[in-house]
Chains A and B, each alone.
Chain A
Amino acid sequence: MSSDKDIILPEIPLELGASHPINNMKDLILNLLISLGFKIINGPEIETEEYNFDMLNIKESHPARQMHDTFYVNNKDNVLRTHTSPVQIRSMLKNKPPLAFISGGKVYRKDDDATHLPMFHQVEGIYVDTEVNFSQLKDLIYKIIHSLFGEEVELRFRPSYFPFTEPSAEVDILSEEGKWLEILGCGIVNPVVLENCDIDSNKFSGLAFGLGVERIAMLKHGVSDIRDFYKSNLDFLNQFK
Chain B
Amino acid sequence: MKIVYEHLLNFLVDKPDIEELSSKLFQLGHEHEIDGSIFDMEFTPNRGDCLSLLGLARDLNVFYQTDIDIPIYKDQIGLLNLNFINQAQEKCPSISFLNIEIKGPITNYKDYLENYFKDLELNKNNFFTDVSNYIAYEMGQPTHSYDYSKVGNDITLKANTGDYKFTTLLGNSIDLNSSELVFTSEEKIINLSGVIGGLDTACTSTTTNALIECAYFKPESIIGKALKYNIHSDASHKFERGADQTCHEKVLRRFIQIVNDHVEIKKLELYKDKSCNFKETELDFDLKKVNSILGVHVDAKEYKDSLIKLGFEINKKIKVPSFRSDITHQNDLAEELARVIGYDNIPSASIDIMGEPKEFSSSYEDKIKSFLIDQGFIEVINSSFTSVIDNDYSIKVDNPLDSRRGHLRTSLQNSLIENIIYNENRQKDSIKFFEISDVYTFNQGLKKEKKLGVIVSGRRGHNNLDFSLGLDNKYLKELFQKINFDITKYIINIDRTKFNSKVKTPIFLIELKIEDLDRNIRNYKTKEIPLSNFIKYQPISEFPSSYRDLSFSVKDSSRIIEIVNTLDSVESRIIKNSFMFDYYENKKINETKIGYRFIFQSNKKTLTDIEINDEIEKIMDLALSIKSVSLPGL
Stretch with Cβ within 8 A of A (4 or more), from B171-179, B355-363, B614-622: B355-363
Residue B220 CB within 8 A of the other chain: yes
- On chain A, the residues within 8 Å of B544 by CB distance are none
- Nearest-CB distance from B56 to chain A (Å)? 14
User: Can you list 20 A-B contacts with CB-CB less than 8 angstroms, sorted by A residue number?
Assistant: A3-B583, A3-B585, A15-B463, A16-B374, A17-B374, A38-B354, A46-B395, A67-B398, A74-B396, A135-B348, A136-B350, A136-B351, A156-B26, A159-B343, A160-B29, A166-B331, A188-B334, A233-B423, A233-B426, A237-B379
- On chain B, the residues within 8 Å of A127 by CB distance are 351, 353
- On chain B, the residues within 8 Å of A92 by CB distance are none
Residue A114 CB within 8 A of the other chain: no
Give bound CA distance, A61 to B222, whole Å. Answer: 9
Q: Which one, B296, B398, B582, contacts A75 given CB within 8 A?
A: B398
Tell me whether A230 and B383 are in contact in the complex, defined as CB-CB below 8 angstroms, given that A67-B399, A221-B535 are known contacts.
yes
Taking a contact as CB atoms under 8 Å apart, the answer to whether A34 and B358 are in contact is yes
Residue B403 CB within 8 A of the other chain: no
Residue B438 CB within 8 A of the other chain: yes
- Nearest-CB distance from A35 to chain B (Å)? 5
- Nearest-CB distance from A239 to chain B (Å)? 5
- On chain B, the residues within 8 Å of A191 by CB distance are 329-331
B424-444 vs A, CB cutoff 8 Å, 1 = contact: the mask equals 001010011100001010100
B residues engaging A (CB < 8 A)?
26-29, 31, 44-47, 218-220, 223-224, 227, 240, 292-296, 329-332, 334-335, 338-339, 343-344, 346-360, 369, 372-385, 395-401, 405, 408, 418-419, 422-423, 426, 428, 431-433, 438, 440, 442, 446, 448, 461, 463-465, 468, 529-532, 534-538, 540-541, 557, 560-561, 564, 582-585, 587
- On chain B, the residues within 8 Å of A170 by CB distance are 31
Taking a contact as CB atoms under 8 Å apart, the answer to whether B537 and A161 are in contact is no
Q: Which one, A30, A45, A160, A240, contacts B535 given CB within 8 A?
A: A240
Taking a contact as CB atoms under 8 Å apart, the answer to whether A12 and B31 are in contact is no
Tell me whether A23 and B358 are in contact in the complex, defined as CB-CB below 8 angstroms, given that A139-B348, A158-B343 are known contacts.
no
- On chain B, the residues within 8 Å of A73 by CB distance are 395-398, 408
Taking a contact as CB atoms under 8 Å apart, the answer to whether A61 and B219 are in contact is yes
Taking a contact as CB atoms under 8 Å apart, the answer to whether A229 and B351 are in contact is no
Give bound CA distance, A8 to B556, whole Å. Answer: 13
Among residues of A, the one whose C-beta sits closest to the C-beta of B399 is: A67
Give bound CA distance, A138 to B540, whole Å. Answer: 39
A1-32 vs B, CB cutoff 8 Å, 1 = contact: the mask equals 11101101110101111111111100110110
A-B complex: 7 closest residue pairs judged by Cβ atoms: A159-B29, A135-B295, A133-B295, A161-B44, A37-B353, A167-B335, A61-B220
Give bound CA distance, A158 to B464, whole Å. Answer: 57
Per the CB 8 Å criterion, the residue count for chain A at the interface is 102
Taking a contact as CB atoms under 8 Å apart, the answer to whether A161 and B343 are in contact is no
Taking a contact as CB atoms under 8 Å apart, the answer to whether B395 and A28 are in contact is no
Give bound CA distance, A170 to B557, whole Å. Answer: 65
Give bound CA distance, A221 to B405, whole Å. Answer: 29
Give bound CA distance, A135 to B536, whole Å. Answer: 34
Interface residues in A202-241 (C-beta closer than 8 Å to B): 205, 220-223, 228-241
- On chain B, the residues within 8 Å of A157 by CB distance are 343-344, 346
Interface residues in A32-64 (C-beta closer than 8 Å to B): 34-39, 44-46, 59-63
- Nearest-CB distance from B147 to chain A (Å)? 32
Taking a contact as CB atoms under 8 Å apart, the answer to whether B422 and A135 are in contact is no
- On chain A, the residues within 8 Å of B28 by CB distance are 159
Tell me whether A74 and B529 are in contact in the complex, defined as CB-CB below 8 angstroms, given that A6-B557, A17-B375, A119-B384 are known contacts.
no
Taking a contact as CB atoms under 8 Å apart, the answer to whether B537 and A239 are in contact is yes
Give bound CA distance, A235 to B421, whole Å. Answer: 14
- On chain B, the residues within 8 Å of A222 by CB distance are 536-537
Taking a contact as CB atoms under 8 Å apart, the answer to whether A72 and B354 are in contact is no
Interface residues in A50-109 (C-beta closer than 8 Å to B): 59-63, 66-68, 71-76, 78, 80, 98, 100, 106, 108
